[in-house]
Amino acid sequence: MKAVIFDLDGVICFTDKYHYQAWKALADRLGIYFDEIINNRLRGVSRMASLDIVLERAERAYSQEEKDAFAAEKNATYVELLQQMSPRDLSDEVRETLNALRAGGYKLAIGSSSKNTKLILSRIGLGDFFDAISDGTNITHSKPDPEVFLMAAEMLSLDPAECLVVEDAKAGIQAAHAGGFKSAGIGEAAEHPDCTYPIASFGELKKILL
């Protein structure tokens, strides 16, 4: 193993509450019921696919033009909320583990469906930390498609078999497995049958890799 590719949200940091607030604001404006249980279905899913889930309870169908406007509205709210983030949102455990893996000679990359990946990394003090960033701005298929991880491996000039993917969503484990990567799963991802290394905390990566 020569590299580690991390999902961002739910692994490196947590922006779930901001996603929820932004989707809830849109749903409330449209008069559509939305709660945290529905929000859980959006984890690891692209923005437009998430919007389709939000609109499942809508009383009418919306045109693609309307959907594009809704997605842009949600993202504008989300980006505004992200301004609240700071290096305090990066836990000591994550920071220490990342530094230990870097010292151990591993290349480190991000593989996230979010189009706001670089903004988030900048806000938490990791803007220039990773060797490669594959995100929603350079992929056409979201997880469980493996494209985002395959792109990260390509950026690192490594084969999938040389990279470990770290995920918190089952769709991410599916993507890693489909792409030929080994995986470490946190939270619900640890329960997926294709997860190579179920872990209870981010710091356990040191036991696997060092």
Which residues participate in catalysis according to the annotation? 7, 9
Neighbours of 173 (CB within 10 A): 30
Query: 184: which strand partners?
Result: 166, 197
CA dist., res. 83 & res. 202, Å (int)? 25
Q: Extract long-range pairs of 13-22: CB within 8 Å, 24+ residues apart.
A: 13/85, 13/89, 13/90, 13/94, 13/120, 13/124, 14/89, 15/82, 15/85, 15/120, 16/43, 18/78, 18/81, 18/82, 18/84, 19/78, 21/77, 21/81, 22/74, 22/75, 22/77, 22/78, 22/81
7: left (phi over 0), alpha (psi -120 to 50) or beta: beta
Please count the helices (runs of H) and the strands (runs of E) in the chain.
9, 6
- Considering only CA atoms, give the Rg of the chain: 17
